[in-house]
Amino acid sequence: MPLTKGNQEIYTHLAKVYDEVMKDIDYEDWADFIDEIIQNHNNEATTILELACGTGSLAISLDELDCYEITASDYSEQMLEVAEQKASIKQSNITWKRIDFFQIDLKEKFDVVVMLFDSLNYIKDTESIKIMLNEVKKVLKKDGFFIFDFTTPQHSSKYADMMNDQGITFDNYRFVRISRYLEAEGVHYNEFTIEKLSDDKQQVLARKNEVHVQRTYKLDDIRSVVNDAGFKIIAEYDGLDFVPATNQSDRITMVIQ
Which residues contact ligand SAM by CB under 6 A? 2-4, 11, 22, 51-54, 57-58, 74-76, 79, 100-102, 116-119, 122
Q: Which is nearer to ligand SAM, 81 or 143 (CB)?
A: 81
- Give 50's strand partners: 72, 114
- Closest C-alpha to 27, from 76, 2, 62, 73: 62
Q: Which is nearer to ligand SAM, 180 or 197 (CB)?
A: 180
For residue 42, how many other CB atoms are within 10 A of its CB?
A: 16
Q: Which is nearer to ligand SAM, 35 or 198 (CB)?
A: 35
Least distance CB 78 / ligand SAM (angstroms)? 8
Non-local CB neighbours of 26 within 8 Å, separated by 6+ positions: none
Least distance CB 7 / ligand SAM (angstroms)? 7
Least distance CB 33 / ligand SAM (angstroms)? 12
- Phi, psi for 170 (deg, rounded to 5): -145, 120
- What is the rounded distance in angstroms from the CA atom of residue 180 to the CA atom of residue 59? 30
Least distance CB 199 / ligand SAM (angstroms)? 28
Residue 254, SS3?
A: strand
- Give 97's strand partners: 73
- What is the rounded distance in angstroms from the CA atom of residue 237 to the CA atom of residue 198? 45
Q: Which is nearer to ligand SAM, 122 or 150 (CB)?
A: 122
Q: Which is nearer to ligand SAM, 89 or 184 (CB)?
A: 89
- What is the rounded distance in angstroms from the CA atom of residue 189 to the CA atom of residue 102? 22
Least distance CB 212 / ligand SAM (angstroms)? 8
CA 122 from centre of chain? 9
- Write the DSSP symbol of residue 72: E
Least distance CB 126 / ligand SAM (angstroms)? 16
- Give 71's strand partners: 49, 95
Q: Which is nearer to ligand SAM, 191 or 197 (CB)?
A: 191
Residue 234, SS3?
A: strand
